[in-house]
Amino acid sequence: MVCATPALAQDFGQDFGLSEIRVGPMFHGLEATSESLLNPFETGQLEDVSFEILWRTPDIDALYWLGSPRPAVGGTLNLKGREQMVHAGLNWHLPIFDTPFWVEGGLGLAAISGYTHDAPPGYRNLGCHVTGYFQGSIGADIGDDWTAMLTVEHSSHAWLCNPENSGLNSLGVRIGYKF
């Protein structure tokens, strides 16, 4: 039986241009109010698993001028059969001075399963299945290869495809492995 070593994982990730892989639990369906984001137990349910794959910034002048964002793809899977999402976009990472702490922002598009209108209780009226995707994180490097972060996600169509727009908000923690 062959066991993967950290060096083999590093080599594998670097061969494919990977920067980091992240995973963690999320509260599903938070209302977009300051009270619910401060107390997710009131409106959200801890029933999502979030994952994300980030690549190193490609050597493209346009991306350099945009602040060197990393390409990212990911998803938020709901374990109770509610709305689920996959997303792709760009992720900006900003270290906080010379500390292990940092902030991030992500921007892209998402595809969401669920109801576009006339949703039954417990589900959201999404308006359409393709939406904008926004993400924010605050985190820390916890060793050479690991990160931990608090992440908030929001997807919405901004009333562009249907008047109904509940949007989808999630809040949770994730652990990342850096390549």
What is the distance between the alpha carbons of residues 50 and 134, in angstroms, rounded to a whole number?
Answer: 14
Share of the chain above pLDDT 70, in %: 85
Q: Quick check: is 1 in a domain?
A: no
Among 53-67, 70-84, 112-126, whose mean pLDDT is lowest?
112-126
Q: Quick check: is 47 in a domain?
A: yes
Q: How high does pLDDT run on average in the chain? A: 88
Q: Quick check: is 74 in a domain?
A: yes
Residue 1 banded pLDDT, cuts 50, 70, 90:
very low
Give the CATH number for residue 143. 2.40.160.20
Q: Quick check: is 94 in a domain?
A: yes
How much is the pTM? 0.85
Q: Which domain holds residue 87?
A: 6-178
What is the distance between the alpha carbons of residues 163 and 56, in angstroms, rounded to a whole number?
Answer: 38
Q: Quick check: is 19 in a domain?
A: yes
> 3-class SS at 15?
helix
Q: H/E element holding 51? A: strand 45-55
pLDDT at 12 over 70: no
Residue 177 banded pLDDT, cuts 50, 70, 90:
very high
**Rounded to 5 degrees, what are φ and ψ at 141?**
-80, 125
What pLDDT was estimated at residue 44?
A: 77
pLDDT at 55 over 90: yes
What pLDDT was estimated at residue 157?
A: 84
pLDDT at 165 over 80: no
Q: Quick check: is 146 in a domain?
A: yes
Total of domains in the chain: 1
